[in-house]
Amino acid sequence: MNKVRRLCLVLGDQLSFDLASLQGLNTERDAVLLVEVMEEASHVPHHPQKITLVFSAMRHFAKALQQRGVQVRYVTLDDPQNTGSVPSELRRWQSLMQPDELHLNECGDWRLEQSLKDSGLSIQWHADTRFLCSRTEFACWAEGKKQLRMEFFYREMRRKSGLLINGDGTPVGGSWNFDAENRKALPKRVIAPLPARFSADSITQEVLALVGKHFAHHYGSLDSFDYPVTHADAQALWEYFLDYGLAAFGDYQDAMASDEPFLFHARISAALNIGLLDMRQLCSDVEAAYWSGSIALNAAEGFIRQLIGWREYVRGIYWLKMPDYANSNFFGNSRPLPGFYWTGETKMNCMRQAIGQSLEHAYAHHIQRLMVTGNFALLAGIAPSQICNWYLAIYMDAYDWVELPNTLAMVMHADGGYLGSKPYCASGQYIKRMSDYCRNCEYKVSESTTVDACPFNSLYWHFLMRHSDLLYGNQRMGMVYKNLQRMPDSKQQALWQRGEALLAKLDAGESL
């Protein structure tokens, strides 16, 4: 095997031609290595569609590199020589090719990056320039702050990027944030666009067969896989959203509806997180749509905020606080994740809808994750590590850098408020307001203490009661606790007893 000057390892979530580690490649003297390994596919039981997306996109990326004249070494999952992990494969190819240099972009997973740093190999690491804010820049911004708030970080990123900024440095529209205009429920007369679908080519069909063979025991359906696996198809998905979804996204991004898994959401987060789309270009396209008059400001600002605000913010916190951050458990939760999270078999229609579509499509939008499946896990006192692993396993776009802070802190408040100033907990009334789920539920959202009462109602007040010592002093929770204090003792006791009964059912392994 010919000796090379530089061997560049590209991971499955780094499929960008603009990757910093790939710059300056010499097509005659350098090579790129991509490896499909069992350890990364199974350290949690990843949804089969997620594995399919990554492996197929990797194979298409390798083919595209070869068409550009790049030397590529590709290891398939079923290669007899495959050693099963990224570090061991890198060691094997370092021995085979004897490169002068090993190059690698920063990883998206602390576990994997640490294992590579512990491998004994001399690796030249490159910052992940796909993000607007580097790890070092975020650490400098966070230095000396007892609590970090996304809103202030977001304003810094707006100024840095110049997105929706007037010539005098003020925000377009006079406000940095139009979140209050992004919370409308879906009216009956509004119809969401049909989702864009992408058929499987021969490469994807081979991967589907491979995944079906090796990962049939993982939870989630493989049948409905229709995601883009190339840069061109990902761009087509994005353009479809620009044409048919973005204008209504601002108003209805928090809305939920039965049998409508996608509504006006772009579904591009998975493609973005593995490198098939460029974050800067997405933001530029959305800003241009606003200036052209085709979308309202709340749609443009809301979308841009998700990318250069929240997405960058959670990544910064992840790399600032890991690895200890993963063990945070502010409420001391220890209850196992209920089995219906893996099956969707529950009488709660909102949970059945959110979990069911997650199993079918490896997708749920942010409010379904935060205020339905996440809200229930918080109220029920589920161990943070268990719900974190579920999110990481079940969702197409879930990678540790983005999933862990979102779930551990935003959903479970397990960091005690470092990321978010209050727990995002709610009763069934929130779900009723933002969806039609309650209309076809066996439980009654109008009841709180009866045997057929919505479980979210009593569990919400039970959560507040059992953690009052930790939350009572939180300024943003003051009104809630005043409402609790106004309740007659008899009502409080009935809510507590109903909550205890529901938790006892969970402890007994029963579904709700």
CA distance 286 to 305: 11
Q: What's the rounded Cα separation, in Å, for the pair 100 and 63?
A: 25
Let me know: does 302 contact 249? Beta carbons within 8 Å.
Answer: yes
Does pLDDT of 163 surpass 90? Answer: yes
Q: What is the DSSP string of 8-45?
A: EE--TT---TT-GGGTT--TTTEEEEEE--HHHHHTTT
**Residue 285 pLDDT exceeds 90:** yes
The alpha carbon dihedral of 373, 131, 254, 363 has a sign of negative
Type of residue at 310: W
Summarised one tens digit per residue, pLDDT across range 190-205 is 888 989 999 999 999 9
Structure confidence at residue 3 (pLDDT): 81
User: Is the pLDDT at 164 greater than 70, yes or no?
Assistant: yes
CA–CA distance, 191 with 185 (Å, rounded to integer): 12
**pLDDT recorded at residue 181:** 61
Q: pLDDT, tens digit, for every residue of 318-348?
A: 999 999 999 999 999 999 999 999 999 999 9
Q: How many CB atoms lie within 10 A of CB 509?
A: 9
What share of the chain has pLDDT > 90, as a percent? Answer: 85
Q: Which fold has domain 339-507?
A: DNA Cyclobutane Dipyrimidine Photolyase, subunit A; domain 3 (1.10.579)
- Give the model confidence (pLDDT) of 388-430 as tens digits: 999 999 999 999 999 999 999 999 999 998 888 889 999 999 9
- Write down the pLDDT at residue 185: 82
The predicted pLDDT at position 182 comes to 65
Could you give the CA distance from residue 99 to residue 82 in angstroms, rounded to a whole number? 19
Could you tell me the fold of the domain covering 135-193+245-318?
A: 1.25.40
Q: Is 390:404 a contact under the CB 8 Å cutoff?
A: no
Cite the residue boundaries of each domain of the chain with CATH code 1.25.40.80. 135-193+245-318
Closest CA to 270 of 72, 84, 46, 450: 46
Give 130's pLDDT tier (boundaries 50, 70, 90).
very high
Give every CB contact of residue 487 below 8 A, 6+ residues apart in sequence: 495
How confident is the model at residue 177, as a pLDDT? 86
Question: How many residues are there in the chain?
Answer: 512
Residue reference for tokens 């006791």: 493
Per-residue pLDDT tens over the stretch 91-128? 999 999 999 999 999 999 999 999 999 999 999 999 99
72-93 pLDDT per residue, tens: 999 999 999 999 999 999 999 9
Q: What is residue 353's predicted lDDT score, i.e. its pLDDT? A: 96
CATH architecture assigned to 6-126: 3-Layer(aba) Sandwich (3.40)
> Is pLDDT of 243 > 80?
yes
Rounded average pLDDT over 218-247: 94
CATH 3.40.50.620 positions along the chain are 6-126
| Integer angstrom CA distances of residue 402 from 302, 342, 407, 460, 475 | 18, 21, 9, 26, 28
pLDDT, one tens digit per residue, over 25-64 is 998 999 999 999 999 999 999 999 999 999 999 999 999 9
What is the pLDDT confidence band of residue 145, given thresholds at 50, 70 and 90? confident
Candidate from 203-207, 234-238, 290-294 with smallest mean pLDDT: 290-294
pTM: 0.94
Please state, rounded to an integer, the average pLDDT across all residues of the chain.
Answer: 94
Residue 291: count of CB within 10 angstroms of its CB: 11
Residue 476 scores a pLDDT above 90: no
Domain with CATH 1.10.579.10 in the chain: 339-507
pLDDT of residue 228: 97
